[in-house]
Structure 1
Amino acid sequence: MRASHTDRERAIDVLKAGFSEGRLGQEEYEQRLARASQAQTYAELNMLIADLPQGPVPMPAPQPAYPVVPRTFLPAPPPRTNGSAVGALVCGVLTPMYGLTAIPAVILGHKARAEIRRTGEQGDGLAMAGLVLGWLAIGGILALILILVAAA
């Protein structure tokens, strides 16, 4: 197939890039440039630029400094601690100072234990401690109220 002026210009651009990158010497560049200007077919143009890169050269991907281990062979991350369980324990510990935190300790403790059974998270001991402290505080407050009522 016959080459057009645009095809010759593209080939000349490839030759210019090859020369500016140091892939062609001055004499070889001039010879190829003259032949490209007179080329009549695609085959003639392709012979002149076949050994030169024609566009961005793909770079190999950088290799990591350490071997990549597939996720299947890595240990599973430890299960998370349930946030409600932590909240139950904190409320239970604060009950002697602030008597009102006994009720949230019990509520959060029951909520946390249900979530832990459902999701497999950690923190069942924290939730149980919050529950025990909360119920003890509620029981102590009720006992104190009964003693005061009986004394009156």
Structure 2
Amino acid sequence: MTNPPPPGNWPDPTGSPPEPAPQSTPPVDPTLPASGQPFIDQSVNADPYAPNQAIGKDPYAPMPYGGPQPYPTPYPAGPGYGYPPAPRTNGMALAAMILSLVGVMTCITAPVGAILGHVSLSQIRQTGEGGESMAKAAIIVGWILTGLVILGVIAYIAIIAFAVISTTSTAP
């Protein structure tokens, strides 16, 4: 039995030669090739968007390149992809819609908006511009508000007529 080596580089006082430290070899990784260098298995997933094609391999084993990414970055769209450009909106359809909606407060611009809606709808059908649904909405809103204004005016006249008749019949 020998004493443990003294701290530092001091010689052993007993005079016995120091024992060499046992050399340990690192454990051999069975997944590494004979050269000892890791490699990336291209057959596991050559296409990052394709499902895992490695049949018989452990799906939970760590992958050499860090594993599949959770959200792959799509490639930018090339020419010819995407939506076609929208057709230009007819300006008269926009004006008709605005005038029809302003007719809620003014009661005068609603019929103008409805008429402009009819004119713009015929222009849209001839030229192929956009705004057909806006023109139809302006027509519908404009005529509904015009009808409500006419009913309100008729009701107002009826109330005034009823008031005049009732005051004249009760007079002495």
TM value normalised by structure 2: 0.43
Greater C-alpha radius of gyration: 2
Of structures 1 and 2, the one with the larger relative CO (CA 8 A, separation 6+) is 1
